[in-house]
Structure 1
Amino acid sequence: MSRGQRELTLRFLAEPTDVNFGGKVHGGAVMKWIDLAAYACSASWSGKYCITAYAGGIRFVSPILVGNLVEVNAKVVYTGTSSMHIAIDVQASDPKEPQNRLTTHCIVIMVAVDENGKPTAVPEWVPETEEDIALRNSAVRLMEMRQEIGEEMEAHVKYLKTDNT
């Protein structure tokens, strides 16, 4: 993978150690794969070490079974000064059959940091296609909604602190 590459896919087989008590791949294992793909994508785009700042809107659409071929697709859909919004789709299939099915989707925000752990600038991503413009606009709307939710959560926490003191 070369620097400045916007998209990548991790592929591997789901292993027996990934299974939960219900016999399906554990959600925590899927979240780990999402974080790995987000890191690899953001580090490749920025050429810098990156840390996870946010993972949200995780939708578990269908289960992954042991032995499934798993594909974790990561794509930069927005860049800020030091942050990158990465759209993640997880798909799986029986390796004997060519049909992938969506299992999980989410957005992860990664921040590039310097050797002192301080945020550092990343290259700007400029959308060119209609699809890319729509993805960027969606990322901006989600960012605005997260801001509103954050403010509401802060008010909620303040209320709980004053109610319990």
Structure 2
Amino acid sequence: MAGKEREITLRFLAEPADVNFGGKVHGGAVMKWIDLAAYACAAGWSGRYCITAYAGGIRFVKPIMVGSVVEVEAKVIYTGRTSMHIGLSVRAGDPTSDQRNLTTHCIVIMVAVDSNGNPTTIPEWIPETEHDIFLRNSAIALMEMRKKISSEMEAHVDPNMVIPEKEKSKKDK
């Protein structure tokens, strides 16, 4: 039911097929797990099919060993009209222990879409606890930072972008 399932935890074993050349779980596998958990969380909250609009701030804190129990926790931390900011943390540890260590964390923005693929409205999430208010405010601050980063990133996307004179003079020094 839309607007009721705010968080989800996926739990599974890291398999040998997930290994990289260094013998640890491949970062791409972790990113796939993050996207799956973000989707499940967003679909649970919105009651709609959702697409990934943004994934950022991914921090690989500690490697995951093959055979570890992996927990990917996803939680709605902010909602817009059609989008949801999902905070994610990945923890892993030995399956014979209940201890799980933080390995990765990030934010993913998902957008709910209708059957034609157009963004569609979702239930609003209203924070109730002090920690939830902190998470929402953090998501809002990150939105503002992303706007600044996005304009800076344009230079990397558009090869015809003109470098401002003040940047040219810095470059020439």
The corresponding residue for 1:63 is 63
2-structure distance, mates of 1:157, 1:60 = 25
Moved more, 96-105 or 2-11: 2-11
What's the % identity of the aligned pairs? 72
2-structure distance, mates of 1:32, 1:99 = 23
- The alignment's TM-score, normalised by the length of structure 1, stands at 0.94
The corresponding residue for 1:85 is 85
User: Are residues 144 and 93 of structure 1, via their aligned partners in 2, closer, same or farther at CA, if it must alter by over 3 Å?
Assistant: same
| Structure 1 alignment gaps of length 5 or more | none
- Aligned-pair distance for 1:54? 0.2
- Aligned-pair distance for 1:162? 4.9
User: Are residues 126 and 162 of structure 1, via their aligned partners in 2, closer, same or farther at CA, if it must alter by over 3 Å?
Assistant: closer
Q: Tell me the SS of whatever aligns to 1:36.
A: helix
2-structure distance, mates of 1:18, 1:153 = 31
Q: Tell me the SS of whatever aligns to 1:34.
A: helix
Matches within 5 A, 1:31-110: 31-110=31-110
2:128 equivalent to 1:123: no
1-structure distance, mates of 2:70, 2:38 = 15
User: Are residues 116 and 20 of structure 1, via their aligned partners in 2, closer, same or farther at CA, if it must alter by over 3 Å?
Assistant: same
- The alignment's TM-score, normalised by the length of structure 2, stands at 0.90
The answer to whether the 8 Å contact 2:46/2:122 transfers is yes
2-structure distance, mates of 1:92, 1:157 = 36
The answer to whether the 8 Å contact 2:70/2:92 transfers is yes
CA RMSD of aligned residues (A): 1.2
- Aligned-pair distance for 1:137? 0.2
The corresponding residue for 1:19 is 19
The structure that has the greater radius of gyration is 2
The corresponding residue for 1:161 is 160
2-structure distance, mates of 1:68, 1:80 = 36
Aligned residue type for 1:120: T
Matches within 5 A, 1:128-143: 128-143=128-143
Q: Which string of whole-angstrom CA distances, capped at 9 and with x for unpartnered residues, describes residues 122-165 of structure 1?
A: 1000001000000000000000000011112225545x3156xx
Q: Which string of whole-angstrom CA distances, capped at 9 and with x for unpartnered residues, describes residues 52-84 of structure 1?
A: 000000000000001100000000000000000
Q: Tell me the SS of whatever aligns to 2:160.
A: helix
Aligned residue type for 1:161: N
- Aligned-pair distance for 1:43? 0.1
The answer to whether the 8 Å contact 2:155/2:161 transfers is no
The corresponding residue for 2:147 is 147
Q: Which string of whole-angstrom CA distances, capped at 9 and with x for unpartnered residues, describes residues 77-135 of structure 1?
A: 00000000000000001011121100000000000000000000010000010000000
